[in-house]
Amino acid sequence: TFTGHAGSVWGIDYSAFDDCQLICSGSEDITVRVWDFENNKQIQSFNGHLGGVYCVKFSPYHYHNHRRNVICSSSYDKTIRFWDIKENQQFNIFNGHTDHVIGIEFSPFNSGRYLCSGSFDKTICLWDVETSKSLHAFNGHTNYVWCVNFSPLQSNNNNGNKINNVGVIGGDKTICTWDIETTKQLTVFKGHTDAVGSVKYGLNELGNTILSGADDKSVRLWDILSGKQIQVFDGHKHW
């Protein structure tokens, strides 16, 4: 058990870079904290956000390309910030959203060079972590965007200079997918009767499926190719 935050913990991530097991956490208390998993103690606390920290992720891009342990965090203060663990400081900030930034996700390709973020402003932003530039803002949802995810599958385009994966985003009562190379919306999955709070692409043989969880107390499995719902899992008594 790790104790130290003064408010609710909203996001955690785990890292085993360089055989060092770390956990990072983001909290309502507006801090990002780093914990030594093996010694069960807090080793750092980052301050800088002006609102609660909703999501935290260790950056695969900075580790694979620069051998730096970096944490990325999203916040109710409308920003995304990067924190260097070794230097014990914030070194970058992404501005662009006009409301709370909720979900963030690094791309599973290009060593995590691309970052996707979902916001209460109903948009999804695609960022180039290497250049710190916003590449595109996807519009289509009519309510908050809670969760973002990248497809693990590559397209048939073999041009290594292009971003050729599909991003999926869950918000309002729908799940929308976009081709992030062409920026075109591909499919809108409808079936949930309340806000969708979590989405995840399937792996391996389930790579053409999406799993979603919503406030309607259901978990649903979707076929990406047909755009149809495969199965509904009921049983939860609360969202």
**What's the CATH code of the domain at 16?**
2.130.10.10
Q: Please check the confidence at residue 129 and state whether its pLDDT lies above 70.
A: yes
Gap between the Cα atoms of 173 and 170, Å rounded: 8
pLDDT at residue 214 is higher than 70: yes
Q: How far apart are CA 82 and CA 43, in angstroms?
A: 17
Is 82 among the domain residues? yes
- Name the token pair of 81: 């910030």
Range of the domain at 150: 9-201
Q: Does residue 228 sit within a domain?
A: no
| Helix, strand, or coil (residue 65) | helix
In the chain, how many domains are there? Answer: 1
Core vs surface per residue 199-219: b (16+ CB within 10 A) or e: bebbeeeeeebbbbbbebebb
Determine, yes or no, domain membership for 225: no
Q: Is the pLDDT of residue 161 over 60?
A: no
Could you tell me if residue 212 is inside a domain? Answer: no
Indicate whether 215 belongs to any domain.
no
* 41: β partners: 36
Tens digit of each residue's pLDDT (9 = 90 or more) over 39-87: 999 999 999 999 999 999 999 999 999 999 999 999 999 999 999 999 9
| Residue at token pair 């047909």 | 226
Indicate the pLDDT class of residue 156, thresholds 50, 70 and 90: very low
Residue 16 has pLDDT above 50, yes or no: yes
Q: Please state which of the ranges 101-110, 166-175, 207-216 shows the lowest mean pLDDT.
A: 166-175
End-to-end CA gap in the chain? 25
Q: Domain for residue 218, yes or no? A: no
pTM equals: 0.90
Please give the helix or strand (H or E) that residue 63 lies within, else none: helix 60-66
| Domain membership flag for residue 213 | no
> Which contacts of 33-39 are long-range, i.e. CB under 8 A and separated by 24 or more positions?
33/4, 33/5, 34/71, 34/85, 35/2
Say if 164 falls within a structural domain.
yes
User: Residue 48 and residue 113: Cα distance in Å, rounded?
Assistant: 24
